[in-house]
Structure 1
């Protein structure tokens, strides 16, 4: 099981996703905890490293936890996403391993990793995106 924190940012009923250099599929921004970090500390660090913005920790709240087959890993290797929403300060810009960011809706589902597709489906069920 790969344990990952994910940031759910929605604007005009579209979900923010990122694509890493050398990859074709889009993923949710976020990453793994370092030793001693809380979920919010790790997510704040990862989002700053990937997208050059600062999350506002006091606004962060847990949305859902979902699991899916991890892309590029042996069959049966799952990624568990612990998904948070939070406000941010700054201008979103790809940084470090991130090549591109995009705002997507359900029509873009085929462009996403299996885990991101699962999150898209959940957000559709919650009527948070189109």
Structure 2
């Protein structure tokens, strides 16, 4: 199964909500992020993607590394996503839909059963975001 390498962010706001996005032409929500360009490390990739997708300027040093996680790709059947994940806390009004993003939402654990979420988000990232309140289905 081919791998797709990405960087992804678990972004909290002051209320403890987590940001998820839905890309144009897709149905599943996921953590913001994307694929690296030539020569980029994982943090550089994420900083660039957050700027392009959400207008969020972040210093790479502000990104807290969480590790590497592997799940089925949400939008590319037959592929796996290999994600370098980072955590970040921002003001909720610091982001806006841009580029290929169709929609963004700030969610709580109560929203997990009500939204279509990418496997990477459900299996790995949201349990990290709310370790005491979420579990893998």
Task: Please confirm whether the aligned pair reaches a TM-score higher than 0.5, indicating the same fold.
Answer: yes
Given that 1:13 and 1:128 are in contact with CA atoms closer than 8 Å, whether structure 2 keeps it comes out as no
Match of 2:85 in 1: 83
Give ranges in structure 1 of 5+ residues lacking alignment. none
Q: Deviations over 1:84-115 (max 9, x none)?
A: 12356882001010011111122322421111
Structure 1 runs, 4 residues or longer, greater than 4 Å off: 87-90
C-alpha contact 1:55 1:88 (8 A) present in aligned 2: no
SS at match of 2:130: helix
Q: Which residue of the partner structure matches residue 45 of structure 2?
A: 42
- Would you say the 8 A contact 1:56–1:86 is kept in 2? no
Alpha-carbon distance between aligned partners in 1 of 2:127 and 2:19, rounded to the nearest angstrom: 14
2:106 paired with 1:100 = no
Distance 1:128 1:80 in 2: 25
SS in 1 for 2:36: coil
Report the number of matched residues.
Answer: 127
Please report the RMSD computed on the Cα atoms of aligned residues, expressed in angstroms.
Answer: 2.2
Change (3 A) 1:124 1:88: closer
* CA spacing shift, 1:55–1:122, aligned 2, 3 Å: same
Separation of aligned partners in 2, 1:20 and 1:74: 16
